[in-house]
Amino acid sequence: MRYKLFGEHSGLRVSELLLGTGNFGTRWGHGADLEESRRILDSYAEAGGNFLDTANGYQFGEAEEILGSLLEGRRDDFVLATKFTMRTNPESGILATGNSRRAMVVSVEESLKRLKTDRIDLLWAHASDGVTPVEEVVRGFDDLVRAGKILYGGLSDFPAWRVSRAATISEIRGMVPIVGLQVEYSLVERTTEQELLPAGFGLGLGVVAWSPLGGGMLTGKYRNGESGRREGFRGNVFQEENTPQRSAILDAVVKIAGEANVTPSEVAIAWVASKGVLPIIGPRTVAQLKNNLAAAKLRLTGEQISRLDQVSAIPLVFPYTVLNNHGTRELYTGGKAELFDRPVRPVA
Determine which one of 3, 44, 58, 320 is catalytic.
58
Cβ atoms within 10 Å, residue 71: 18
Within a 10 A sphere around the Cβ of 35, how many other Cβ atoms? 8
The values of phi and psi at residue 340, to 5°, are -95, 120
Strands 79-84 and 13-15, by their bridges, are unpaired
Cα distance from N-terminal residue to C-terminal residue, the chain: 31
How far, in Å, CA of 127 to CA of 91, rounded? 19
DSSP β-ladder status, 18-20 and 51-53: parallel
Among 226, 244, 296, 264, which Cα is nearest to 49's?
A: 296
Is the four-CA dihedral 196, 200, 201, 206 of positive or negative sign? negative
Helices (H), ranges, the chain: 34-46, 62-70, 101-115, 134-146, 160-172, 196-202, 229-232, 244-260, 264-273, 286-293, 302-311, 320-323, 326-332
204/171 Cα distance (integer angstroms): 12
Q: Is 58 a catalytic residue?
A: yes
Q: Are residues 281 and 269 in contact, defined by beta-carbon separation less than 8 angstroms? A: yes
d(CA 154, CA 182): 8
Q: How far apart are CA 40 and CA 291, in angstroms?
A: 12
Distances (CA, A) of 271 to 65, 102, 162, 307, 308: 33, 39, 27, 11, 8
Known catalytic residues? 58
